[in-house]
Amino acid sequence: MLHRLSLKKIFPLLLIPALLLSVFLLFSSGKDQKRFDAFSKEMFEKEMTANTLNMHYTVAVPENYGISEYTPVLSCYSQASEEEARRDLDRYLAVLSSVSPEKLDEDSAYACLLLSRSLSLSRKGYDFPYYAEPLSPSSGMQSELPILLAEYTFRDKRDVEDYLSLLSQTGAYFSSLLTYETEKKEAGFPQADASLLKVAEQCNTILSEEALADGSHFLQTTFEERVAALASAGILSDEEAVRYIKENNELLSTVMLPAYRNLSTGLAGLVTERETIPTGLYYLPQGTGYYTWLFEKNTGSSLSMTEVKALLYTRFETSYLEMQNLLKERDNAAVLWLSARKENAFPLKDADAMLADLRKRMQEDFPAFPSTKVSSLFGGSAALPGAAVKTVSPALEDYCAPAFYLTPPLDDTENNVIYINEKSTPKGLELYTTLAHEGYPGHLYQSVYSTRYRQPSDTAPVRRLLWYGGYQEGWAVYVEMKGYDYAAELYTENGAEDLAYGCRIEKANREMQLCLSALLDFSIHYEGASLEQVAHVLSSLGISDAVTARNVYEYIAEEPANYMKYYIGYLEILRLQDTARELWQEEYSDLRFHKFFLETGPADFTTLRELLFR
């Protein structure tokens, strides 16, 4: 699901007005290129130092990017900070509009274009206060923050001290989010009772007094492992390691545990007597307008809602007919389909072997990593980027996606982590295609490729501040579909042609599921579909269980436009690919298209299409 857990939350860039004024004056004289370089560098530094957690996941060594002095901070919500951010964003866009792109080098002009378009879209989001939900049951910060803390890399003593400082601020952080939820309710945009109760229960489960008492909580064990590694390397003394472990345990018990308890109690206190369930954005004032904006923000697509609906209905009909034809083509097709999905039927049994197989099969159609200090993916003697596959802690299994990838820092692309939720991701074929989505040729490959491609000249990586969900998740779905093709090859090579056929059916089924989810997303949030209507649609497709129907409805209602970034992103890539075939004719190849896509992104699809025509 997640290649990178969102650190933006509900807050846009926080920029100091004095910085903007000084930069604006700077732009009034001198050469545009030098002015833009200075501005983008300072903007990157300011954004990084405004959120230490964000900075740590973006750069491994802050000094590499001119950041030497900073105070560890976990950004908190307040009305004042939101208003200041809006004023700053207006000033920021004014600065960008004063730049003459034709006077910049190609890379800078492209960065300037992306910044202007992305931040202009972000500015429109201020028309919809209190619509965002930072504490959603499926992807809220109550479950994301512990994972980010557990994977917070310790490279030196400063990292440990920063971590402990952030931990000490979790009380204020969760208190600010409770303030937001309270204001949200008072403004007439309350989170549904059912959702509030789910999050409140999560807060009681994610961090328990019992686990802390016996030292078994993952925020204790992972901290001890990271500190022990520094001690073994001689970076920390044994005395320092013991002291840090003691401080971590104290902060978890005296700050973070009460923070979760207070958040749980506070959210439960917002529950009404009506026992409401989540509903679509359609029922909120300007709800369809917000959904239209959120769709563009999440997907990077400029398709109108009319075009989206037509595209999804056409695609669903095509996918449905394809699957029906595959099931009719052979008498035992349904049996082969089920057999191909069985764990013991798949030739490869563990994640490392699956990743190695995916790397081998992608070589023909995907470019090698650009050369940096580390050799490329398909040549050279240096080690490949690491890809550790870890399992989600049992305490988080109920609240996490089936799988997700944590993007590595710009200056440390060698260490990558893919999380697998064993409660919702079986092994076999599903694990193989999940690893294609999260690893190779998916998020890991795309993220590392993009970083390394820009690395030689990217001294101020301001583009890393921009998020393009449709580009990233669309790519992951695109290569996941290729993962099914690779799996079919693997079955065939192992003498199981019948199971390869079953794999083709599962691929069609997977696309139909994604398309259906996107259609339901559109129907619930843009057209106001009710739980009963969704249950009727699912029943017509053979899913008649009432509990399943409610779970599907509530998840989509709680996560508006989430499925869109996956499936619309995927369809936009296919549309872009079709355009490339028409333009390049006999010079087209998948390798050339993939290279274009990886080296021009991440970006929105309007910009990518413009570049394709140049």
- pLDDT, one tens digit per residue, over 300-321 is 999 999 999 999 999 999 999 9
Average pLDDT on 205-211 reads 93
- pLDDT, one tens digit per residue, over 227-281 is 999 999 999 999 999 999 999 999 999 999 999 999 999 999 999 988 788 999 9
Residues 6+ apart with CB under 8 A from 412: 60
pLDDT at 30: 46
What is the percent of the chain where pLDDT is above 70? 92
| The 3-state secondary structure of 369-418, one letter per residue | CCCCCCCCCCCCCCCCCEEEEEECCHHHHHHCCCEEEECCCCCCCCEEEE
Is the model more confident about 107 or about 526? 526
As separate numbers, helices (DSSP H) first and strands (DSSP E) second, the chain gives 26, 3
Is the model more confident about 313 or about 90? 313
pLDDT at 363: 94
Mean residue pLDDT across the chain? 90
pLDDT at 274: 80
Place 15 in a pLDDT band, splitting at 50, 70 and 90.
very low
Q: For residues 440 and 532, is the Cβ–Cβ distance under 8 A? A: no
Which of 462, 450, 603 minimizes the C-alpha distance to 117? 603
Question: Which of the 8 DSSP states describes residue 190?
Answer: P
pLDDT at 384: 67
DSSP run (H or E) holding 462:
none
pLDDT of 515 > 90? The answer is yes
Average pLDDT on 455-471 reads 82
Is the model more confident about 14 or about 485? 485
pLDDT of 7 > 60? The answer is no
Query: How many CB atoms neighbour CB 587 within 10 A?
Result: 8
Strands 415-420, 403-406: pairing kind: antiparallel
Average pLDDT on 14-20 reads 44
Q: Which residue has the tokens 């989540």?
A: 278
Range in 21-35, 111-125, 150-164 the model is least confident about: 21-35
- pLDDT, one tens digit per residue, over 337-384 is 999 999 889 999 999 999 999 999 999 999 999 876 543 433 433 346
pLDDT of 13 > 60? The answer is no
Which of 248, 346, 291 minimizes the C-alpha distance to 125? 291
| The 3-state secondary structure of 62-75, one letter per residue | HHHHCCCCCCCCCC
pLDDT at 372: 61
Place 479 in a pLDDT band, splitting at 50, 70 and 90.
very high
Average pLDDT on 173-177 reads 98
pLDDT of 478 > 90? The answer is yes
Place 386 in a pLDDT band, splitting at 50, 70 and 90.
confident
Place 207 in a pLDDT band, splitting at 50, 70 and 90.
very high
pLDDT at 401: 78
